[in-house]
Amino acid sequence: MNYFYGILLIILGLLILARYVFQVKVPIFIVSTAIIIIIVGVSLFFHRPEPGSNRDIVFSNKTIQVTNPAEEYNLAFSGGTIDLSMVSPQYKGQKIKINSLLSCGTIKINPGTPAIIRINSVLSVTQTPDNSSVYLGRYNYKTASFKENSNYLDIEIKNIFSKLKVDEAIKTKTP
């Protein structure tokens, strides 16, 4: 599916560029837009996540069940859930970064897990369990079990043109 969008964006960019470059009058805005579209299309070929990547959700809708956290998770042009409810902090300030671009998603955390969630939102909606909504700017949310002197998760969320909901999910153990 990534190849399809990559090819589509490259062709669209080349068509826009060809139409305006071969005429005498070349609007700078149109040319720059075409170049950006071409760059995004080419980057889909070279910087896309591996198939079955369990850290990135791109042009799809899926759930990532996290047990051993990676340093960074990405949502781009998609919808999905990043479930951190089974994660326990291994050390003080264990960092997890979550980036969201033009997406709609949910981040599940366990209210019993000590965590601070640092939200940076740009023209987006980020909802927290304390019923706060961040549209533009920064906000810090701490779980009820957060203690600065003990092990805790330091989750940084960057939300750009997206809608994210931080949801407290109770940890359930499978038999």
What angle (nearest 5°) sits at the alpha carbon of residue 91, between those of residues 87 and 95?
A: 65
- Read off the pLDDT of each residue in 41-65 and give the average, rounded to a whole number: 71
- Tell me the DSSP string of 93-127: EEEEEEEEES-EEEEEE-TTS-EEEEEEEESSEEE
Question: Residue 124 burial (CB < 10 Å; 0-12/13-18/19+)?
Answer: buried
Distance CA 168, CA 175 (A): 22
For the record, the structure tokens of 73 come out as 């998770």
Nearest-angstrom CA–CA distance, 75 and 60: 9
Kindly tell me if the per-residue pLDDT of 141 is higher than 60. yes
C-alpha triplet 35, 4, 32: angle, nearest 5°: 10
Nearest CA among 141, 175, 171 for reference residue 66: 171
Predicted local distance difference test score (pLDDT) of residue 17: 74
Which residues are 175's β-sheet partners? Answer: none
Helices 2-21 & 28-46 angle (0-180, nearest 10): 160
In this structure, the number of other CB atoms found within 10 A of the CB of residue 130 comes to: 12
User: Which stretch of 30-34, 40-44, 49-53, 74-78 has the lowest confidence by average pLDDT?
Assistant: 49-53
Mean pLDDT value across the chain? 81
pLDDT, mean of residues 129-147? 91
pLDDT at 128: 93
pTM over 0.75: no
Compute the distance between CA of residue 152 and CA of residue 156 in angstroms, rounded to an integer.
13
